């Protein structure tokens, strides 16, 4: 976010979410990435959950190798900072940026950064000016609806008269639709993206209704306002109650007391199937938020290691868009004792060059069990590097997983899941697994 971080020591204002019901006509058939219910889905209807980071391209246009580096670490999405020329840029290389995203099999979220803090930051562009920039780029954006999400303007209103966000955002959406844009649109919250006055939370339905295509996703930026789990969960709950789509378009980490509760963001977005895009790859004026030191992917910072390699992080949860061929394999095994035993299902949840995440679901049969042991044999030279919710041991190609104390007792038909991060080289075939129950 290459700007000063406001120390907003302001408690999030508890404003009840509006329970308005849209009476608008049904939207036309969607093109490319679009909203279905509360989810972002691809043209084929497959759910797509954004797992990625922000890249400050407009300030570091020569750092094109960052796209490949971000992908290699497992991301399926990159949010790219652009400028209209009023404050930064102009970014006239949109076609090249899209090409880099596609070459590296990542969905491209393109955002105009000039709007940051409008109304409080005198140099900022308006959302109307941002819409004009996108209209000027229409020739290179048309036909890219499967690959590109247009984030109209970054943090488009500051803390001064945040209520102007509703009309300004609705009008920008209408302007793009009137000019023939069919893309999935993303709209950032006011209050420098953090919506601590709950303007977006309260009036999101108005903006949703303004989109004739019903194809807009709302984006909250979570920094110091969201330093407690309760404030994060409350905000997510409000959008679930309204039935509107939400992603975390930016967030940082708790590098000091009072900073953002990134652990809750990661856990809750994963639990709810919501997208997140961390800030940021490198090049911050305050390097505490860099994920890679000096754009070097071999020098990940504490924040970089956490978001890419930690629990609920990008490697563990990211799935490549099916438009690029991302379809992880899944297999269900046989049941040794159907009535009194257990079954196990081994699924490759995600895969990247040299690594993968697998989940194993264990289900009791027709009677309760007090414990379980899962065994399989790797046939592709895979290894287990890190496991959770089971004690996993390996002898050569043979792997054994035994329940923990808290998830061994399963009632009839009940289930538990464990997982692990593994390595592979050459191939990653799904093994046949066997479940042995204890009573």
Across the range 129-156, mean pLDDT stands at 98
More confidently predicted of 28 and 51:
51
What percent of the chain stands above pLDDT 70? 90
Peptide bond into 74 cis (omega under 30): no
The CA distance from 223 to 255, in Å, is 11
Across the range 332-356, mean pLDDT stands at 74
18-27, 107-116, 158-167, 387-396: the lowest-pLDDT one: 18-27
Per-residue pLDDT at 27 exceeds 70: no
pLDDT of residue 429: 87
More confidently predicted of 414 and 144:
144
pTM of the predicted model over 0.95: no
Greatest Cα pair distance, the chain, in angstroms, is: 71
Per-residue pLDDT at 321 exceeds 80: yes
pLDDT of residue 8: 37
Across the range 307-331, mean pLDDT stands at 85
Active-site positions read 155, 250
First and final C-alpha spacing in the chain: 56
Q: What are phi and psi of 389, to 5 degrees?
A: 65, 20
pLDDT of residue 190: 98
Q: How confident is the model at residue 6 (pLDDT cuts 50, 70, 90)?
A: very low
pLDDT of residue 3: 39
pLDDT of residue 439: 79
- Structure tokens, 240: 């679930």
Of 352, 351, 318, 327, which is closest to residue 107 (Cα–Cα)? Answer: 318
Contacts of 271 (CB under 8 A, 6+ apart): none
- Side-by-side strand order, sheet with 391-395: 391-395, 398-402, 371-377, 433-438
The residues that bridge with 356 in the sheet, in sequence order, are 351, 422
R_g over Cα of the chain: 23
pLDDT of residue 29: 65
Half-sphere exposure of 164 (CA within 13 A, CB side): 15
Per-residue pLDDT at 365 exceeds 90: no
The residues that bridge with 332 in the sheet, in sequence order, are 345
Model confidence pLDDT, tens digit, residues 51-84: 999 999 999 999 999 999 999 999 999 999 999 9
Across the range 18-42, mean pLDDT stands at 71
Strand intervals (E) in 265-381: 276-278, 330-332, 342-352, 355-364, 371-377
26-40, 82-96, 349-363: the lowest-pLDDT one: 26-40
Model confidence pLDDT, tens digit, residues 201-210: 999 999 999 9
The CA distance from 210 to 169, in Å, is 9
Per-residue pLDDT at 12 exceeds 60: no
The residues that bridge with 373 in the sheet, in sequence order, are 402, 436
pLDDT of residue 408: 93
Per-residue pLDDT at 18 exceeds 60: no
In this structure, are residues 361 and 417 in contact, taking their beta carbons and an 8 Å threshold?
Answer: yes
Across the range 181-207, mean pLDDT stands at 98
Percent helix, percent strand, percent coil in the chain, to nearest 5: 25, 25, 50
Distances (CA, A) of 188 to 216, 268, 358: 11, 20, 34
Per-residue pLDDT at 95 exceeds 70: yes
More confidently predicted of 380 and 95:
95
Across the range 411-430, mean pLDDT stands at 89
Q: How confident is the model at residue 354 (pLDDT cuts 50, 70, 90)?
A: confident
Per-residue pLDDT at 11 exceeds 80: no
Average per-residue pLDDT for the chain: 90
pLDDT of residue 142: 96
In this structure, are residues 53 and 291 in contact, taking their beta carbons and an 8 Å threshold?
Answer: yes
Per-residue pLDDT at 339 exceeds 60: no
What percent of the chain stands above pLDDT 90? 79
Across the range 144-169, mean pLDDT stands at 98
More confidently predicted of 98 and 23:
98
Across the range 249-261, mean pLDDT stands at 95
Model confidence pLDDT, tens digit, residues 222-237: 999 999 999 999 999 9
- Structure tokens, 314: 């990008």
Per-residue pLDDT at 14 exceeds 70: no
More confidently predicted of 6 and 163:
163
pLDDT of residue 31: 81
More confidently predicted of 380 and 100:
100
Is residue 394 helix, strand or coil? strand
Peptide bond into 280 cis (omega under 30): yes
The CA distance from 200 to 423, in Å, is 43
The CA distance from 314 to 319, in Å, is 9
- Structure tokens, 313: 């992080």
Across the range 240-269, mean pLDDT stands at 96
Give me the DSSP letters along 156-195. ---SSSGGGHHHHHHHHHHHHHHTT--SEEEEE-TTTTT-
């Amino acid at each position: 976010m290459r700007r000063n971080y406001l120390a907003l020591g302001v408690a999030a204002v508890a404003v009840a979410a509006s329970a308005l019901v849209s009476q608008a006509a049904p939207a036309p058939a969607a093109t490319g990435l679009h909203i279905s219910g509360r989810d972002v889905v691809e043209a084929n209807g497959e759910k797509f959950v954004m797992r990625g980071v922000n890249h400050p391209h407009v300030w570091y246009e020569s750092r094109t190798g960052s796209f490949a580096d971000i992908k290699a670490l497992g991301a399926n999405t990159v949010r790219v900072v652009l400028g209209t020329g009023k404050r930064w840029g102009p970014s006239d290389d949109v076609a090249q940026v899209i090409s880099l995203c596609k070459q590296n099999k990542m969905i491209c979220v393109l955002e105009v950064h000039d709007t940051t803090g409008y109304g409080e930051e005198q140099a900022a562009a308006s959302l109307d000016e941002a819409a004009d920039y996108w209209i000027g780029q229409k020739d290179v954006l048309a036909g890219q609806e499967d690959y590109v999400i247009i984030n109209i303007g970054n943090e488009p209103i500051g803390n001064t008269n945040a209520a102007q966000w509703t009309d300004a955002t609705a009008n920008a959406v209408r302007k793009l639709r009137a000019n023939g844009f069919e893309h999935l649109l993303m709209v950032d919250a006011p209050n420098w993206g953090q919506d601590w006055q709950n303007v977006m939370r309260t009036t999101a339905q108005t903006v949703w209704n303004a989109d004739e295509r019903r194809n807009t996703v709302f984006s909250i930026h979570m920094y110091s306002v969201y330093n407690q789990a309760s404030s994060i969960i409350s905000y997510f709950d409000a959008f679930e109650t309204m039935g509107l789509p939400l992603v975390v378009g930016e967030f940082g980490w708790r590098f000091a007391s009072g900073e953002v509760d990134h652990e809750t963001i990661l856990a809750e977005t994963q639990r709810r199937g919501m997208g997140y895009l961390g800030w940021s790859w490198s090049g911050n004026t305050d390097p505490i938020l860099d994920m890679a030191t000096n754009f070097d992917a071999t020098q990940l910072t504490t924040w970089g290691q956490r978001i890419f390699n930690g629990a609920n992080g990008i490697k563990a949860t990211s799935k490549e868009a099916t438009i690029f061929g991302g379809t992880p394999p899944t297999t269900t095994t046989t049941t040794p004792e159907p009535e009194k035993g257990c079954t196990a299902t081994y699924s490759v949840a995600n895969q990247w060059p040299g690594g993968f995440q697998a989940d194993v679901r264990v289900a009791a049969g027709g009677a309760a069990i007090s414990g379980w042991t899962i065994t399989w044999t790797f046939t592709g030279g895979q290894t287990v590097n890190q496991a959770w919710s089971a004690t996993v041991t390996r002898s050569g190609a043979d792997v054994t997983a035994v329940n923990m104390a808290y998830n061994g007792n399963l009632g009839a038909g009940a289930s538990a899941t464990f997982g692990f991060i593994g390595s592979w080289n050459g191939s990653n075939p799904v093994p046949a697994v066997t479940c042995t129950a204890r009573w």
